[in-house]
Structure 1
């Protein structure tokens, strides 16, 4: 959930309902102790558009160790799949994203940059988590390193806004993404519930696009409230977990939560240069990005599945909590390998061939039972014959095998 910032730390969260606001689920340039300022027209054209970062990580970030997306790469790397990142823009110059970012669109003041300028740094981290390339000498990669990113800029910075037009901009961005070939739409933001936004989400789903959104972040003493667009029907709503698999306290809970993914101590590409931004506080923004990456893997491996079937596969293969589902993590932590490799059908009306062949109800050892019955019957018959023959054999031996006489004849002779 996008948070409000001022020098020195976050401002108190405003209660939902006071005007339209969009929220990025996490922090970006603030963690470096800098304040992002809108560039002049001259500086806006600089390829490295946005804050720089620290050196590349020496060790694999914990979310990658936890999710192990490489275990699914023998089956799918997300090739042929386009993920629209509707956010603060995406840098196309970082080594982890070079060649991965398509020409997009800017709905918020920098149309000449076509979505590829990220003054906040947030959208670039999201894109890197989804589709950052592997094998570049860094210990960082995205979940679906062969997927493409469609950058759509709707948020100028990480500050809270009361712009009443913002939900409409997000709705327009969703529709534009659908028209321009998005297979998955990542919405790491929260805004007010508006009919035009709900209609745009429904349009995307009806067109076969998977929609993933952040479940939302809350401040201390703030009650959990449904977050939009995550709470709309059909959207995969994602909460955050920590290194131990526990629910992140700032992650909003609710019955609409479907899945969970890493949401704290996050690292991703910085838009300015070749460095990385570190997000110790994290947020459900980043958790949503991990799930969008897995959705890209699934769409590449199973291109015939629609949004409902993709969501079904992700939830059925997740590392579920003991009770199966709860309001904190939904059906559990997303599992890339199982999501891609498991042989599953949809919960309703699976297409032909989607389900494994039902196991035969016949006992594979039934023939042995039949043979045993026949053997027992023959053995009983033989035993009966032997018992009946034994007296005859005994009498034969006594007579020296001579024929015997009738009893009546023997009696007549004796008289």
Structure 2
């Protein structure tokens, strides 16, 4: 059997058999290795990203409760056990059928990384913002069939606009395109203006028609938080597109999340790594939105970027942006002029100091033995003068004409 699977760029990958995604090879993940349709399995260990992002500490301040996160994707399987009643809204489908179903599994995995509920010891799966509410906006798949790339292109901007009208606080866009489209740009700008935090994938290399590094949209639009994926060592995966659109990074390797209607699955870094990373940043934004309900999207983005973990506090790059997101620090750090990093909303860019000029000091170093040398010199001069005087005296005493 070959089945269609939605990729992070909206393209369709044909996957042989009933396995929906590559999975981890560790013994702890063995029982979820197959991720077979119709077979419910659970992964007992918590997602590595939850620990890496300090989620337990962040949950002491916020769980995302009351925050609505729109997942504009392939739908969300609301009957997964990690989504109890009320955690997934009805949403809207632009492709026929309910938005609370998911033919590919991509949207459900994204929603789980954001807001899956803890169901006890049999499963370790939990989202980074387990109190948030998911709003599914289904723009691909569905009952209408058809070309999913065309569906995504036609439905993405309307899907974003609908999410804003339906009350989304955060919009997750685990997708990207090289096309700078006017309708998409306008939809994103309207969302940001309405106070919605928009988070988007910086791009996945294996799924891109153009695999070269460079701008990807909607991540590159003003006000959008663009995301790259990291592995377990906080190194950005080779699959993540590099470019100016990258603002932050988050885990995208060995992601343990919800698998359609059937419990859990372990998704590897291959192909869709920045999709999962985007979900974790969207979840972090949901934590901040609950904690700072009046904060603008720009303030939330600045907090996430200024407090991210990175090697250089003063410089971003096109690989990891400002670094790996740190939700607890983003909620608690006092941001003032002493904090290095991105400029705060409304702030003035810090002047770049001129490079230091090395000057060579030509001032002679003091000679520690100069006094001794001076004394010897004066002694020699004195002796020489005495000898000369003695010689002249002898010459004057000699009788003349002798």
Q: Given the two structures, how large is their TM-score scaled by the length of structure 1? A: 0.70
Cα separation, partners in 2 of 1:159 and 1:132, compared to 1, 3 Å: farther
Structure 1: how far apart are the matches of 2:120 and 2:329? 26
Structure 1: how far apart are the matches of 2:49 and 2:334? 25
1:286 paired to 2:271: no
Aligned match of 2:290: 300
Aligned match of 1:33: 19
Aligned match of 2:55: 69
Contact 1:321-1:331 at 8 Å conserved across structures: no
SS of the residue corresponding to residue 70 of structure 2 reads strand
Shift of 1:79: 0.8
Structure 1: how far apart are the matches of 2:120 and 2:17? 26
SS of the residue corresponding to residue 44 of structure 2 reads coil
For residue 176 of structure 2, the aligned residue among 163, 181, 190 is 190
Matches within 5 A, 1:39-58: 51-52=37-38, 55-58=41-44
Shift of 1:265: 1.6
1:217 paired to 2:217: no
Matches within 5 A, 1:239-250: 239-250=228-239
Aligned match of 1:129: 113
Aligned match of 1:97: 83
Tell me the alpha carbon deviations over residues 44-80 of structure 1, each in whole angstroms, 9 at most, x when there is no partner: xxxxxx9456622122222122112111111101011
1:347 paired to 2:334: no
Shift of 1:299: 0.2
Cα separation, partners in 2 of 1:204 and 1:264, compared to 1, 3 Å: same
Structure 2: how far apart are the matches of 1:260 and 1:248? 10
For residue 84 of structure 1, the aligned residue among 51, 70, 74 is 70
Contact 1:242-1:263 at 8 Å conserved across structures: yes
Structure 2: how far apart are the matches of 1:28 and 1:142? 28
Cα separation, partners in 2 of 1:25 and 1:55, compared to 1, 3 Å: farther
Aligned match of 2:138: 153
SS of the residue corresponding to residue 120 of structure 2 reads coil
Cα separation, partners in 2 of 1:31 and 1:293, compared to 1, 3 Å: farther
Contact 1:24-1:285 at 8 Å conserved across structures: no
Shift of 1:182: 0.1
Shift of 1:166: 3.5
For structure 1, the 5+ residue unaligned runs are 1-5, 11-20, 36-49, 351-415
Cα separation, partners in 2 of 1:172 and 1:222, compared to 1, 3 Å: closer
Tell me the alpha carbon deviations over residues 260-319 of structure 1, each in whole angstroms, 9 at most, x when there is no partner: 001122221111233435335241100000000000000000011011111000001100
SS of the residue corresponding to residue 126 of structure 2 reads coil
Q: Given the two structures, how large is their TM-score scaled by the length of structure 2? A: 0.72
